[in-house]
Structure 1
């Protein structure tokens, strides 16, 4: 038992925590931005191909890097081997085109277009497959019969 301000009471467990000074976090102007060597060339890629800026997202489940990062990695590799920056950028652009990593207009389809591509087969079946057409006609007849029954035309 300890004395808190001269009274014979037990010291609360939380008292030491409350007496500690508050945590000091760095100010926003003190935080340094992380910069990678390839960031310069990623920015140049986006300046050259403006359309890819919003479409060139990183796919979480994909194995291929986005076009901008692929481009910047090639430029860095070429610069390490002694090629000038302009030549390295031109060669990296050509390498990307030859390997099928063509830069935008849209290097990766949007999520909506991917979903639509998957659903395209089912939509085609909906309108052209005779078996599915029969099922749809039967469902329409059942729905019409139910609507007629609800409105009082059931024959009672």
Structure 2
């Protein structure tokens, strides 16, 4: 039925009219109350773009290390630093500041904020050392270190999990057998 144009109702009508198919029970009911038709897009979907997207891209060019922060805190209510940068530039431009100057001001504010966060954590660690207690975890860790801390457990598990060790042993035996077959005899067990 792909050669016929139209929806299910018109295709079925054509088939019944041409005696290619007996009239189905539901055809009269569907003719009295046809299904809703929705307009189709022109083939391409329009991309959603926000006014600050231009500045977000410029921010990522200038600070590529902050790209990882978006991926981790995707469900957070706080917007990522790049989005804040773009919004700040737009806000400054509304107040009549030139674009280059607005970007410089927003960049300076971003750098100042990150420096203050680092200083605050350094001070917390210093206070903890003076009190003789364990320093608190870093409230502003890098995105890469956050991911690595989540993966560290899985990386260590491969050395102690018996199921994984069995798989590794089977792979070693298969490799030994392949080497023995290739070189025609027994080969040492070292890798």
Q: Which residue of 2 aligns with 1:25?
A: 40
TM-score by length of 2: 0.43
Deviation at 1:91, TM superposition (A): 0.6
**Which of 37, 48, 63 pairs up with 1:49?**
63
User: Per the alignment, do residues 16 and 71 of structure 1 end up closer, same or farther by CA in structure 2, a change over 3 Å counting?
Assistant: same
Q: Which residue of 2 aligns with 1:112?
A: 147
Aligned to 2:108: 94
Structure 2, unmatched stretches of 5+, are: 1-15, 117-140, 157-191
Distance 1:56 1:110 in 2: 14
Output the CA distance in 2 between the equivalents of 1:91 and 1:108. 25
**Contact persistence 1:101–1:107 (CA under 8 A):** no
What corresponds to 2:49 in structure 1? 35
Change (3 A) 1:90 1:36: same
Is 1:12 matched with 2:28? no
Higher helix share: 2
Structure 1 residues 79 and 101, CA, compared in 2 at 3 Å: closer, same or farther?
farther
If the length of structure 1 is used for normalisation, what is the TM-score?
0.51
User: Cα deviations across residues 56-96 of structure 1 (Å, max 9, x unaligned)?
Assistant: 32614434321210110111111111111001101101111
DSSP-derived class of the 1:100 partner:
helix
Q: Which has the higher contact order (CA 8 A, sep 6+)?
A: 1
User: In the superposition, relative to structure 1, how do residues 16 and 33 fare at CA in structure 2: closer, same or farther (>3 Å)?
Assistant: farther
